[in-house]
Amino acid sequence: MTNMPDEDCGAETAPSKSLYRVVLSCNGVPPYAGPQTAIAITQEFSHRPWPSSVVCVGDGHALVLQAENDFDPEGVALMDEFSDAIAACIAEGFDGDIRVLSTARV
């Protein structure tokens, strides 16, 4: 009897991870915190390893952050990180509100 290799050799393929795109908004941003603050927040996320394709835009009234990740489908962890980045980039405190605008599996 000849030992023939099994087609898949018993190896299991790793399940592919889902990727999620999350969009957040922070309202109540001071008027001076416009596009330059959004650029600083985008750069702040370059030091954080888990989100990817991070972009923040601002118009002096709101900051909108979009990012992709493979473990936070509801955006809860991203909200926390966004809050930290806002605090690091806007020296004066303000009464803003961060909320999830959308989440999608990509």
Residue tagged 């004066």 (tokens): 92
- Rounded to 5°, the CA angle 83-23-94 comes to 30
pLDDT computed for residue 101 by the predictor: 97
Spans of the chain below 50 pLDDT: 4
CATH class for the domain made up of 20-105: alpha beta
pTM: 0.82
For 74-91, the pLDDT digits (tens) are 999 999 999 999 999 998
Tokens of 70: 């493979």
pLDDT computed for residue 8 by the predictor: 53
